[in-house]
């Protein structure tokens, strides 16, 4: 498909979702970036901001299947990936697939699950397949996980280790509630109660678009720019554990996706600057004394973007 047509369909997809999902426009585009770059997204913020609605709308907009998994401490890996059971009527062992087998999967409150269950989920995300009783089953294509986590771990919650968080390509914070957003929600309340969204693209087209994104050109200067940003972040005094090598990989993939959405066959430094915070913020661990002083990972990323020389396009 010609990139002009693809870009037009993706823009129509954004408009369709934004008709029902009010505010937080950058999150809508980030999900499309994740779809095109084949990554997963971690959304952080208070409840009641429409994260479940967004995931449902996104799945509907690609004509794909959707499932939601509410994480709890008693949830087992088999409850997510599936299991076998004995059918008394047929006297045969049968396979029951878990809710992970969908195109778009919303994992609500990821850090309420035990580390064992978290590990099973993250393995499925990484391998894009599950193994049940020795049988390997590929997950649907495309496959996108949108996870949320509660801001502070409390009773019935487990900390997410950095290695687990690193498996998410991107993360985004949702600030709220925003009075302007709430006013607009009230204006559209009747429409929002019964959203009806038509697919803007098909699941098959999403796979074609993802393949096209890999052909978006990235100059050597832009690649060097990505590396320099990550290196600068790692070198700051405030940083205890810096971003892994996954960080520059996902910055580059996201920048290609943004260029594709913008109907450009090449990546600009501005594309890198736009996506870098989403690929870096959750991969930075700050020293405790700087956390006490109110320093945030977003500030570290912004400082690096301001200090690193931008290459000429």
pTM: 0.91
- Residues 264, 210 within the same domain: no
d(CA 122, CA 135): 18
d(CA 33, CA 258): 7
Tell me, what CATH number does 281's domain have? 1.10.8.80
Q: Average the pLDDT over 30-44 and give the result.
A: 95
pLDDT at 145 over 80: yes
Which range of 1-5, 107-111, 249-253 scores highest in mean pLDDT? It is 249-253
- Residues 78, 120 within the same domain: yes
- Residues 46, 22 within the same domain: yes
Helix axes 269-280, 220-234, angle to 10 degrees: 30
pLDDT tens digits, 58-104: 999 999 999 999 998 889 999 999 988 877 787 788 888 999 999 99
- Residues 240, 286 within the same domain: yes
- Residues 309, 266 within the same domain: yes
- Residues 110, 141 within the same domain: yes
What's the pLDDT band for 152 if we cut at 50, 70, 90? low
pLDDT of residue 290: 92
Q: Average the pLDDT over 36-51 and give the result.
A: 87
pLDDT at 4 over 80: no
pLDDT of residue 151: 67
- Residues 144, 166 within the same domain: yes
pLDDT of residue 153: 54
pLDDT at 250 over 90: yes
Neighbours of 78 (CB within 10 A): 14
Q: Which residue matches tokens 């985004």?
A: 172
Q: Which of 215, 230, 250 is the last residue of a domain?
A: 215
Q: Which of 160, 189, 215 is the last residue of a domain?
A: 215
Spatial contact of 243 and 256, defined as CB atoms under 8 Å apart = no
Q: Average the pLDDT over 115-137 and give the result.
A: 87
Domain, as residue range, for 280: 216-313
Q: Which of 215, 246, 272 is the last residue of a domain?
A: 215
Dihedral in degrees, nearest 10, Cα atoms 266, 202, 279, 256: -10
CA-nearest of 224, 210, 310 to 260 is: 210
- Residues 15, 116 within the same domain: yes
- Residues 131, 241 within the same domain: no
Neighbours of 292 (CB within 10 A): 9
- Residues 37, 176 within the same domain: yes
- DSSP letter for each residue of the chain: --HHHHHHHHHHHHHHHHTTS-S-HHHHHHHHHHHHHT--EEEES-SSSSHHHHHHHHHHHTT--EEEEE--TT--HHHHHEEEEEETTTTEEEEEE-TT-SSEEEEESGGGS-HHHHHHHHHHHHHSEEEETTEEEEPPSS-EEEEEE-SS--TT--PPPHHHHTTSSEEEE-----HHHHHHHHHTHHHHHS-----SS-HHHHHHHHHHHTTSB--HHHHHHHHHHHHHHHT-TTEEE---THHHHHHHHHHHHHHHHTT-SB--HHHHHHHHHHHHGGG-EE-HHHHHTT--HHHHHHHHHHHSPPPP-
pLDDT at 240 over 90: yes
What is the total count of domains within the chain? Answer: 2
pLDDT of residue 163: 80
pLDDT at 129 over 80: yes
With 0-12 / 13-18 / 19 or more C-beta atoms within 10 angstroms meaning exposed / middle / buried, residue 246 is: middle
- Residues 124, 184 within the same domain: yes
The chain-wide mean pLDDT, for the chain, equals 89
d(CA 16, CA 9): 10
Q: Average the pLDDT over 208-217 and give the result.
A: 96
Share above pLDDT 70 across residues of the chain, in percent, rounded to a whole number: 96
- Residues 172, 269 within the same domain: no
Pairing relationship of beta strands 239-241 and 135-138 according to DSSP bridges: unpaired
Q: Average the pLDDT over 234-246 and give the result.
A: 94
pLDDT at 158 over 80: no
14: its two tokens: 């954004």
Name which residue leads in pLDDT, 228 or 49: 228
């Amino acid at each position: 498909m010609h990139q002009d047509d693809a870009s037009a369909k993706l823009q129509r997809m954004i408009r369709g979702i934004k008709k029902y999902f009010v505010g937080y426009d950058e999150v809508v585009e980030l999900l499309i970036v994740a779809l095109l770059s084949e990554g997963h997204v971690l959304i952080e913020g208070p409840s009641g901001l429409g994260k479940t609605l967004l995931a449902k709308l996104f799945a509907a907009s690609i004509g794909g299947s959707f499932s939601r998994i509410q994480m709890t401490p008693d949830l087992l890996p088999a409850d997510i990936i599936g299991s076998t059971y004995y059918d008394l009527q047929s006297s045969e062992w049968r396979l029951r697939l878990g809710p992970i087998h969908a195109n778009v999967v919303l994992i609500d409150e990821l850090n309420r699950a035990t580390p064992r269950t978290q590990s099973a989920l993250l393995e499925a995300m990484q391998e894009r397949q599950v193994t049940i009783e020795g049988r390997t089953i590929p997950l649907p294509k495309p496959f996108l996980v949108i996870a949320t986590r509660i801001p502070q771990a409390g009773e019935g919650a487990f900390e997410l280790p950095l290695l687990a968080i690193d498996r998410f390509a991107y993360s985004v914070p949702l600030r709220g509630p925003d009075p302007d957003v709430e006013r607009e929600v009230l204006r559209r309340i009747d429409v929002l109660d019964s959203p009806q969204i038509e697919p803007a693209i098909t699941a098959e087209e999403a796979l074609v678009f993802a393949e096209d994104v890999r052909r978006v050109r990235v100059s050597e200067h832009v690649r060097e720019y990505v590396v320099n940003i990550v290196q600068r972040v790692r070198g700051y005094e405030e940083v205890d554990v810096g971003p892994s090598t996954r960080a520059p990989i996902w910055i580059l993939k996201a920048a290609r996706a943004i260029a594709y959405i913008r109907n450009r066959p090449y990546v600009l430094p501005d594309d890198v600057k736009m996506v870098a915070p989403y690929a870096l913020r959750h991969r930075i661990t700050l020293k405790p004394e700087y956390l006490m002083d109110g320093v945030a990972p977003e500030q570290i990323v912004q400082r690096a973007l301001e200090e690193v020389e931008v290459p000429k396009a």
